[in-house]
């Protein structure tokens, strides 16, 4: 019997997502079937444009695993997504959102075992009225819609070299100190530790908690947030039985010797986490959403409009996202 496939939402159709899916199918393995939520006509045109001999088969979710052996299965969308590579159009926003919605619904309904999302262009979605900061936050809304409860999604960027979790995510840097709280750090660290245990199989996850300020505040000389907020949060995590250390200076947290001392670095803001992760593993890093009742991964790069339609995009991160989704959902 064919394995339950992984659903892949197409992401921004004017970006590299469609051709990454084509490249991934060319490098397919029989025990990792996936299907794409997209416009079959768009996919045929993109395959022709980038010179990839990939047959496209329109199908429904139930037939995707069987179709995967002979073609890239594409489950058609109700909304149109016909755009030119490198030229995003707000008219395709409804199709982008529909692909995400249907991917989550497929996992909930037992038609897929995990979701991989291709990169989106948030600015385009915002112009169409999208009210969420990004993929991560919207997935939390969809999880609540289908599974109930109050899921609190947490972003983790994972690779074999380093794993990082930003405590605050898509907010301006100037807003970070006021958004940061002891409770937020504790909740984020607790969710990260729980998923590292349950999904990554790490019995006692080690958390390295970065300070907010340079040198973790230098004992208050460079800011008091690390004394007032971060240190008490670390102590609460430790009292809850989580192996947490910090606050630690972020500038010495990511060299090779330091990385051997922890399983995930808990960082106070977006770029403190993602800049070193992308510098160390740009082509292999995967965005994983923790704290959800389903597995979701994504390549850790953007839409790359300058490469869309050229056939020069690197599928490494997309393939890593598929591989990790497979590992976490087995």
Q: Is 287 annotated as a binding residue?
A: yes
Beta strands across the sheet bearing 163-166: 56-58, 72-76, 34-38, 6-9, 115-117, 296-299, 286-290, 154-158, 163-166, 264-267, 206-210, 243-248
Instruction: Pick the closest to residue 182 from 220, 229, 244 (CA basis).
Output: 229
Q: Is 301 annotated as a binding residue?
A: no
Residue 86: partners with Cβ closer than 8 Å, 6 or more residues away:
14, 305, 306, 308, 309
> DSSP secondary-structure letter at 227?
I
Write the pLDDT tens digit of every residue in 211-252: 999 999 999 999 999 999 999 999 999 999 999 999 999 999
- Classify domain 154-287 at the CATH superfamily level: Isopropylmalate Dehydrogenase (3.40.718.10)
Question: What tokens were used for 19?
Answer: 């051709």
pLDDT for residue 134: 83
Write the pLDDT tens digit of every residue in 74-101: 999 999 888 999 999 999 999 999 999 9
pLDDT for residue 94: 95
pLDDT level of residue 1 (50, 70, 90 thresholds): very low
Instruction: Pick the closest to residue 25 from 60, 48, 53 (CA basis).
Output: 53
Segments in the chain forming alpha helices (H): 17-26, 40-50, 64-67, 93-108, 122-127, 135-147, 176-179, 182-198, 225, 231-239, 256-259, 270-281, 316-329
pLDDT for residue 2: 52
Question: What tokens were used for 174?
Answer: 């100037």
Write the pLDDT tens digit of every residue in 261-305: 999 999 999 999 999 999 999 889 999 999 999 999 999 889 999
Q: Is 132 annotated as a binding residue?
A: no
Q: Is 270 annotated as a binding residue?
A: yes
Q: Is 215 annotated as a binding residue?
A: yes
Q: How far is the first Cα of the chain from the last one, in angstroms, to the nearest whole number?
A: 15
The residue length of the chain stands at: 330
- The pLDDT > 90 percentage for the chain reads 92
Burial of 163-172, coded b for 16+ CB within 10 Å and e otherwise, reads bbbbbbbeee
Do 308 and 15 meet the contact criterion of CB atoms below 8 Å apart? yes
pLDDT level of residue 198 (50, 70, 90 thresholds): very high
Write the pLDDT tens digit of every residue in 13-33: 999 999 999 999 999 998 999
Q: Is 296 annotated as a binding residue?
A: yes
Q: How far apart are CA 259 and CA 156, in angstroms?
A: 16
**Domain span(s) for CATH 3.40.718.10 in the chain:** 1-153+292-330, 154-287
Mean pLDDT, residues 38-59: 96
Fold designation for 1-153+292-330:
Isopropylmalate Dehydrogenase (3.40.718)
């Amino acid at each position: 019997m064919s394995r339950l496939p992984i659903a892949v939402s197409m992401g921004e159709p004017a970006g590299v997502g469609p051709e990454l899916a084509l490249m991934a199918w060319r490098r397919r393995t029989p025990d990792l079937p996936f299907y794409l939520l997209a416009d079959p006509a768009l996919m045929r045109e993109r395959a022709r444009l980038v010179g990839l001999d990939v047959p496209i088969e329109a199908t429904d979710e139930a037939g995707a695993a069987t179709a995967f052996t002979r073609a890239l299965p594409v489950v058609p969308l109700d909304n149109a997504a016909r755009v030119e590579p490198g030229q995003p159009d707000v008219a395709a926003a409804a199709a982008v959102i529909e692909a995400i919605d249907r991917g989550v619904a497929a996992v909930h309904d037992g038609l897929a075992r995990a979701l991989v999302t291709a990169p989106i262009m948030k600015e385009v979605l915002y112009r169409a009225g999208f009210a969420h900061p990004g993929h991560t936050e919207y997935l939390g809304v969809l999880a609540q819609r289908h599974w109930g409860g109050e899921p609190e999604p947490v972003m983790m960027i994972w690779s074999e070299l380093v794993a990082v979790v930003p405590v605050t995510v898509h907010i301006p840097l100037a807003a970070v100190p006021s958004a940061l709280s002891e409770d937020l750090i504790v909740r984020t660290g607790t969710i990260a530790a729980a998923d590292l245990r349950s999904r990554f199989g790490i019995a006692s996850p080690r958390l390295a908690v970065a300070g907010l300020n340079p040198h973790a505040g230098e004992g208050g000389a460079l800011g008091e947030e690390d004394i007032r907020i971060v240190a008490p949060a670390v102590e609460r995590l430790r009292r809850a039985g989580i192996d947490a250390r910090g606050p630690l200076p972020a500038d010495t947290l990511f060299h090779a010797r330091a990385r051997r001392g922890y399983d995930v670095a808990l960082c106070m803001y977006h770029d403190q986490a993602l800049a070193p992760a992308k510098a160390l593993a740009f082509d292999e890093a995967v965005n994983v959403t923790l704290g959800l009742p389903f597995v979701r991964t994504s390549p850790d790069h953007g839409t790359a409009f300058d490469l869309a339609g050229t056939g020069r995009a690197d599928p490494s991160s997309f393939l890593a996202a598929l591989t990790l989704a497979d590992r976490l959902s087995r």
